[in-house]
Amino acid sequence: MSAAPLVGYSSSGSEDEDEAEAGAQARPGTGGCRRTQSPLPSQRLPVPDSVLHMFLDTEEEPEDDREKHGGRVRSFPHERGNWATHVYVPYETGEEFLDLLDMLLPHAQTYVPRLVQMEAFHLSLSQSVVLRHHWILPFVQALKDRMASFPRTFVGLEVTSGHAQFLDLVSEVDRVMEEFDLTTFYQDPSFHVSLAWCVGDARLPLEGRCLRELQNIVDEFEDPEMVLRAHAEQVRCKSGNKFFSMPLK
């Protein structure tokens, strides 16, 4: 069995749960008695700077610019005060890993030219969920409490050793999700490091021959088990544009 099986998959909207924020939009109305004569033309007066700056939002809202995310569309609509949140283990790449990726990606692009290399690499421990801004710090503190005594483990492109330890991590993350009434992780997860992505579902051209050829490249690479092995030293939580780190002891 190869130490690093390659997998092709498509992301699903089911990974993200929408959270609706109740509220009505204020609309200007007309008050007072009905006049029998035409109202005088209204003239807008400039608003003083002191008033304009009274209600500046103290929450740093994450930007929602598709051009900055390669055309990707978020699975749930952005609403003010909602922060997309994800828990994961970062995968620190070495020179040999990048050499292998330089062999894999061009080959995969002969089947799907629009594939783009990931900017960073990680293994997910949760689905993407929505947190209200005032939940972020309590949520992260609950994660830190759960992660405080966890040992390190080892990972590859798709985890073939250390799988049980990752399930233990997911179990602790799921407990925090349940405390905040959020969606837990998949029932039978497959832990993997994503190497590339593209807009749309490209599984059909990648499955079969392409994946077999990519797997052969991995198998023939010099000592792939050592190249793709890495210490999982911390768990991270990304909420909007904020990052939190929890070391694994």
Q: Which of 122, 133, 134, 163 is catalytic?
A: 122
- Residue 192 is among the residues annotated as catalytic for this protein: yes
| Contact between 153 and 168 (Cβ < 8 Å) | no
From residue 173, how far is each of 15, 25, 161, 236 by CA, in Å? 15, 36, 20, 11
- Residue 122 is among the residues annotated as catalytic for this protein: yes
What 3-state class would DSSP assign to 79? coil
- Which residue carries 């949140």 as its tokens? 85
DSSP structural state of residue 134: G
Q: Which of 133, 163, 192, 231 is catalytic?
A: 192
Contacts of 110 (CB under 8 A, 6+ apart): none
Residue type, 69: H
**DSSP bridge partners of 237:** 87, 244
DSSP structural state of residue 158: B
Contacts of 122 (CB under 8 A, 6+ apart): 88, 89, 90, 91, 193, 194, 236
* Residue 223 token pair: 């000592």
Residue type, 147: M
Alpha helices in the chain, H assignment, sequence order = 49-52, 95-109, 136-147, 163-179, 203-206, 209-220, 224-227
Q: Give the span between the Cα atoms of 238 and 244, in whole angstroms.
A: 6
Catalytic positions: 122, 192
